[in-house]
Amino acid sequence: MDNPSNRRGGVMSERAWKTLVLILLVWAVAVTSLYVNDVVLAKLQNSGEYELISVNIGFKYKDGRVEWHNLTKVPVGSTLLEVTAKVAKVNYTTYKGMGAFVEAINGVKNEKPYHWMWWYWSPTTGWTLGPVAADKYIVSDGETLMWYYEDTSSFPPAKP
């Protein structure tokens, strides 16, 4: 006798079930993320338990082009890495005890001697090289930061 599960048409194959389950899982994660971003964070912000700040973040590429994301809204306590990931595609590796090492931003990868270095603007000293890894630096309201893809064969590298 013919096993109905082996026939095409009437019964869904195991592969089709797995695909359907995977699609539903991805959908559920996406909907949950949207809910958290749009509803939960808005409720927290309105209740005063969640505060947003604005930062300016730029990316200076090897060809001299600069891309700014001014007045980027982020939660109080955000790190530079979190801000960067909010406005750009960032690839990094985290090293225990040291922090995150950014390997690429917006598809531009570190290639010796060029690397992504970050700087912050100080009204008294101008551009200042970041003192810690991007995931260790907590940004401040109104702060201006820049990722600079620069020649690091001599240290300290040239200011943006």
Cα 72 versus chain centre, distance? 13
13 in Cβ contact with 36 (< 8 Å): no
Of 89, 143, 144, 78, the residue nearest 116 (C-alpha): 89
Of 16, 141, 32, 121, the residue nearest 76 (C-alpha): 141
Residue 140: which pLDDT band, with cuts at 50, 70 and 90? very high
Q: Where are the domains of the chain?
A: 4-47, 52-151
- CB burial class (10 A; 0-12, 13-18, 19+) of residue 46? exposed
> What's the farthest any 2 CA atoms get from each other in the chain?
87
Residue 48: which pLDDT band, with cuts at 50, 70 and 90? low
pLDDT of res. 157: 87
108 in Cβ contact with 149 (< 8 Å): yes
Q: Stretch 101-110: mean pLDDT, rounded? A: 98
- Quick one: which H or E segment has residue 45? helix 41-47
Average pLDDT, the chain: 86
pLDDT of res. 110: 97
In CATH, what number does 52-151 get? 2.170.130.30
Q: Stretch 59-65: mean pLDDT, rounded? A: 96
pTM of the model: 0.68
Residue with tokens 């964070």: 41
Residue with tokens 């690839």: 91
